[in-house]
Structure formats: structure tokens, C-alpha cells
Structure 1
Amino acid sequence: MGKITVSMYLSLDGVMEEPGDWHMPYWDDEMAKFQSDVFYANDALILGRVTYEGFAAAWPKVKEEGADKMNTMPKYVATTTLEEPQWNASFIKNNIVEEVNRLKRETDQQYLIYGSGQLTRTLMEHNLIDEYHFMVHPVVLGKGKRFFMEQGQRGLKLAGVKTTTTGVAILSYQPSE
């Protein structure tokens, strides 16, 4: 059975939108190591269209450590608008819940989701996420797209806590059911 892990930057008020604009002042060696460990523990990415487009535009130009793996690992992209898969991607155009559930059932791969809020919320509603890593930054943005929107109550159990020298709380959770 496959496993799906989510890794997401959040502000204290739950904003996930455009982290490149606010998270970099908090980046440090501890966060880099954590992100590297999570990334290398996975076999493939599952991404929403917006995250995929941003990554596909940037990563092929990157020369630093991890770029080879990022550029060659399989990517499963939830999209109804994109037509031509590139960057080692396969598009999931129909029932995302059914397709992701099939991936989990038919493989033993480890899948990683970066950001991709709507996709993550959809999979969360159907109990398809196995682990969450929320990197909560010590900043209140006051506006922007929030990860936890109008969802029903969801119980999670704490699986780990780390704090970085810049004040980011790395909170790891698993579903409580």
C-alpha cells in the first residue's frame, strides 16, 4: 500500500498562498535538512496544476543538490486544463480521488504533495493523506488563501515537533482515525 505525505508552509494564521513571498527569511539549515529528508524519502510527487506549473518552470533550471531527483521523479498532476504532460508528469484529468486511491492501493510507493491546497483538502476529505508536515512560520499575514477553509472537523494526532532557530514550528501529524 502506498503512502501520501503532505509538506506545506503555513503562516500562523493559516495562509499557504505564495510562500516564496514570506517564508525565505525563516529558511535555515534545520529546515533545509528536514525538507531534504522528507523529499528523499519519497518516490513520486502528486501536485495540483498551479504548483506543477510553478515547479516545472523553475526546477529544470536549478543546478543545486536535489535537482536531478526533482527533475526525474514521476509526477502525478491533478488538472482539467493542461493538455501536454511534460517534466516527467502524468495528468490525472478525471476523478482525482479515485485515481489517487488506485495509486495507493496498487503500489507501495511513497508519494509527496507540496502545497497544492485544493488537491490536499480534497484528498484529506477522503482520508487519503497518511502524514502531514506543517511548517508554521512566526508571521501573521492577515490575508491570503488559507489552507484550513470551510471543512468539517478533522482529528489529527501529533507525530512530531521540531523548532528551528528562526522560530518555525515543524509539526508532523497523522490522521487520528
Structure 2
Amino acid sequence: MKKLTAGLFISLDGVTEAPDEWHFPYFNDEMGAAVGGQFGAADTLLLGRVTYDSFAEAWPDREAGGGEDAAFAKSLGDTRKIVVSNQDLTFTWRNSELLTGELVEAVTALKNEPGDGDIAMSGSVSVVRQLLTAGLLDELHLLVHPIAVGKGARLFDNDVAADSPIPLKLLSSNTFETGVMHLVYTLDPDAPTGDYEDAKQHIKD
């Protein structure tokens, strides 16, 4: 089964919306390697429509421009891109297609396709939430920036937190020179349990 990973730029107060407005000052070689590593292991990108539209608007021009990021732009263009949307879309970026069918069933089928390349996601927060809740996301890569943005959509909204807690297990952590933390989580089927009666045993005088 293919591994499904999601990568998000996130602020210290949990904001994931419009990272282009606050994360670029923290982008260095370490972050570039982290992002490139996630995409480099993938042969398929799964994107929400808004994220796809922003990618399709920017990366083909960057590839054609031949600048420092042209090679990465070409790699994105060459990769299979599957878009989650309830609307019929017309694609101009090569190797793009619409995810057909109900999200959970379609992504389950996608993960069961032959091949050993990963399926990578970037942004697409509402899709990430749904796949986490469904137990389909294998790794959640959070690039936590040392900045409180103060406004904007957050990864976990009140509905998710109140009605369906999602226990996660930390797989790895790395702190960049900029103070950004690269945290990789997976779902934790064996999350710890307990209450205050258990916790107070660990309180020292």
C-alpha cells in the first residue's frame, strides 16, 4: 500500500492559512531539504482545489522561466497530480486529473494502486483533516514557525477537537537554525489513557 504524507507550514498558534504572507523569512536550506524530501519520495500529488489552483498558477511559469527553482518546478509538472473538488475542472497543467468518487473510498483505492512511490499532499487543510479522521494519513509533516500570526484558518478547528480527538505519535523532530521545528507525526492507535488520579502520582513535592 502506498504511503500518504501531508506537509503543512504552520504558525505557533496553529494557523495554516496564507503561509506565503509569513513563512518566507524562515525558508532556508534545511526547510528546502525537508520539503524536497517529502515531494521527492512521491510519484503522486493529492491536492485540494485551492492549493492546486495556486500551484498551477505559479509553477508552470517558474519552470518556463528557467530560474533557480525551475528544476523543482519541472519535477512538480512531471508528477501525477490528483485534485479533490466537487466541481468539474479544466486543467492546463500537465499530468493533472480530478479525483473521482467519494473522498475516503477514492483515496483508499489510490493508496492500493501498484507501485512503491508515496502520495504527497501540501496544504489542502480541509482534505488533510478528513483523511486524518478517516485514518488514511500515514505521516503528517508540520513545519512549525516561531511566529504567532493571530488570524486565519487553523489545522484543527473546534469541531474536530471537541467531537473527535485524533491521537498522534511523534515519529521525528528537528529544529532548524531559524527556529522552525520539523515535526513528523503518525496516527497513534495505542495512545495513552488516564485521568487526574493517574497523573497526580507523578507530581513531586
**Range into which the TM-score falls when normalised by the shorter chain:** over 0.9
Distance in 1 of aligned mates of 2:33 and 2:78? 21
**TM-aligned CA deviation for residue 81 of structure 1:** 2.0
Map 1:36-115 → 2, pairs under 5 A: 36-62=36-62, 63=66, 64=69, 65-87=71-93, 88-108=95-115, 109-115=117-123
Q: Which has the higher contact order (CA 8 A, sep 6+)?
A: 1
Contact preservation (8 Å) 1:42, 1:111: yes
Deviates further, 5-14 or 64-73: 64-73
**Would you say how many aligned residue pairs link Structure 1 and Structure 2?**
177
Distance in 1 of aligned mates of 2:129 and 2:145? 20
| 1:65-84: CA deviation from partner (whole Å, max 9, x where unpaired) | 31111011001100112422
Map 1:106-145 → 2, pairs under 5 A: 106-108=113-115, 109-145=117-153
Where structure 1 has 5 or more consecutive residues not aligned to the other structure, the ranges are none
Where structure 2 has 5 or more consecutive residues not aligned to the other structure, the ranges are 190-205
| 1:75-115: CA deviation from partner (whole Å, max 9, x where unpaired) | 11001124223321110243111100101122333100001
Matching residue of 1:32: 32
| 1:1-49: CA deviation from partner (whole Å, max 9, x where unpaired) | 1110000000011100000000001111111111111111111100000
Bigger share in helix: 2
Distance in 2 of aligned mates of 1:20 and 1:71? 21
Distance in 2 of aligned mates of 1:83 and 1:176? 36
Deviates further, 148-157 or 86-95: 86-95
Larger of the two Rg values belongs to structure: 2
Contact preservation (8 Å) 1:5, 1:112: yes
Matching residue of 2:171: 159
1:14 aligns with 2:20: no
Contact preservation (8 Å) 1:6, 1:120: yes
Matching residue of 2:193: none
- Structure 1 vs Structure 2 CA RMSD: 1.1
Contact preservation (8 Å) 2:11, 2:146: yes
Matching residue of 2:2: 2
- What's the TM-score once normalised by structure 1's chain length? 0.96
**TM-aligned CA deviation for residue 174 of structure 1:** 1.1
Q: 1:148 aligns with which of 153, 156, 168?
A: 156
| 1:104-143: CA deviation from partner (whole Å, max 9, x where unpaired) | 1223331000010011111111001000100000011111
- What's the TM-score once normalised by structure 2's chain length? 0.83
